Structure 1
Amino acid sequence: MEFEASFLDQVVQAVCEAGRIIVQNNDKPRSIRYKGRNDLVTDTDIAVEEDLKARLSRLLPESSFLAEETSGSAFLGDLTWVIDPVDGTTNFAHGLPMVATSVGLWSKGQIVLGVVNLPLLGEVFSAALGKGAWMNGESIRVSETRDLDQALIATGFPYAIEENIDEVLAQLRAVLPATRGVRRPGAAALDLAYVACGRYDGFYERGLNSWDTSAGVLLVGEAGGNVSRYDGSPYALGDADIMASNGHVHAGLQELVARGVS
């Protein structure tokens, strides 16, 4: 399905308008409930998701939703918005600004539009399939770093950390001494956007959901990067693990991460 350039602008505007809820609620007390020991949801998550669904429905009345808080068990249809209203809810609950809203549009087998908004950091990333990627309206590209020892890598930890602790630590033991460093902001959509704009040279994580990665995967691809699974096979939404990079360090990072895969 082809979309006019102005349509992406409308989607960006809708996502940014919903992001104002995060900004407005940032200094207010949080109402927190638990989906799991480390898996939080706040009233802000719900409010942003409902606001986005209303706005995006007006843009594409025929579309459906796969959204973390209110329709997380839905299926991808011919035209589906894939939404994470507040990626980094734990950060938000603790007053940290590394919070993202991720919106991807799935159309007949692929993500064709993606927006990652960082409302507390004042940055919005967008991409359209075959058209490129942007941050605050300016074109972005992945980094040119070619040597792993000069590469800054990001990662994340799965909610089921007890079940994955040995693998997580083994991977860190392999990646940390071989690179310039490892960062863990706690929001995968932000991590992928940072790979797309060249701040990170690579990223890997296990246990993510479709709404965590839908927009970010398109951002990285349109910015000239590489996205795969740990073993190098193509990544599909919902896969158990993901690796993204500038392309130059992909094989080396893949080799390092493989040392920790059980």
Structure 2
Amino acid sequence: MNANQPDSVIGGKSFTAVAVNCAAKAGEWIKSKSGTITQLDTKYSAQDLVTEVDKGAERMIRNLIATHFPDHAFLGEEGVEPGPKASATALAKVSGAEYLWIVDPVDGTTNYVHGFPFYSVSIALAYRGEVIVGVVYDPSRDELFVAERGKGAYVHGRKMSISAEEKLAESLIATGFPPDPQVALPANLANIRHIAPKVRNLRVAGSAALHLAYVAAGRLSGFWEHNLSAWDVAAGSLLVQEAGGRMSDFGGEPYHLAVRNVLATNGRVHDELSRELQASAST
């Protein structure tokens, strides 16, 4: 941490330890509820699902954080109305908070509902708008990805580092299918058509937070997705940066919490992928 950033503890309580504890407890509960969904609702579109497990996990996380840090602000997906405008408005309302917890209780709800084991709990803490703690937990594999600004990124307690690919043609890249069928989805299908022939292969697994964790762990060379919200990205952004990677918007401008079109890479293929994303948008 530099002089402008807080210590990693307040009143003897570690931010990172609280985030890890919340992710682990919520993840264990989420996994225990797998296959028991009794109520399934849609939000922004038919592809944007929410369950009672999402809502219950967010309440659990929020209550646990409030126990330790009652004065901190909280931004969770399930407490915000559906749609990109509502997401941007909700973030703006809490953007002045000194400490802001940013939570997606189940990133990959569609996977969870279908029993596809690629979903995660994403918890980040921002200090004056900058993410200082990021935790992504995969209950299916019991993999915990943790980053603290200035102290590296870790999985299973081992330090992570980004992949070594130097060219897009050598790269394994991930993306996602946005739940907006009118604008974002067609735009991303155009990206895919343009980029797929230029990379080693593409993956679309359905959890932005886990995709970002995989970039940090060197399992993916890069990831892009349209129209993401802060809770999808905040924790993973710090994992990528602390592992030596690069986060930006599609045009290469540095990532911040309000960025919605997100590009994350090992850094080595970043400019090339950014150029291809921009080229695909203009064709």
> SS at the partner of 1:81?
strand
**Aligned pair partner of 1:80 in 91, 100, 123:** 100
**Which letter maps to 2:179?**
Y
Q: 1:11 aligns with which of 19, 23, 41?
A: 19
- Kindly state the Cα deviation for residue 10 of structure 1 after the two structures are TM-superposed: 3.4
- In structure 2, the CA distance between the partners of 1:178 and 1:25, relative to structure 1 (3 Å rule), is same
2:188–2:225: 8 Å Cα contact kept in structure 1?
Answer: no
- Which structure 2 segments of 5+ residues have no match? 1-5, 81-86
Q: Which amino acid aligns with 1:19?
A: G
What displacement does 1:165 show? 4.1
Partners of 2:185 and 2:72 lie apart in 1 by 39
After alignment, is 1-10 or 163-172 more displaced? 1-10
1:100 paired with 2:131, answer: no
Find the residue that maps to 2:281 and give its secondary structure: coil
Task: Report the number of matched residues.
Answer: 262
Q: Which residue of 2 aligns with 1:143?
A: 163
Name the structure 1 match of 2:70: 61
State the Cα deviation string for residues 48-103 of structure 1 (Å, max 9, x = none).
Answer: 00000111112222211010102563523111100000011111111111111111
Query: Partners of 1:114 and 1:29 in 2: how far apart?
Result: 28
Q: Distance in 2 between matches of 1:11 and 1:37?
A: 31
Structure 2 CA distance for aligned equivalents of residues 51 and 211 of structure 1: 16
The 3 A distance-change label for structure 1 pair 258 and 14 is: same
The more displaced of 150-159 and 27-36 is: 27-36
**CA-to-partner distance for each residue in 1:142-198, whole Å, 9 max, x for gaps?**
111112111000001211123234422221122111111110111100110000000
TM-score norm. by structure 1 comes to: 0.95
Question: Counterpart of 2:187 in 1: which secondary structure?
Answer: helix
Percent sequence identity is: 37
Identify which of 42, 47, 50 aligns with 1:38: 47
Measured on the aligned residues, the alpha-carbon RMSD in Å equals 1.5
Matches within 5 A, 1:1-262: 1-4=6-9, 6-35=14-43, 36-71=45-80, 73=90, 74-76=93-95, 77-262=97-282
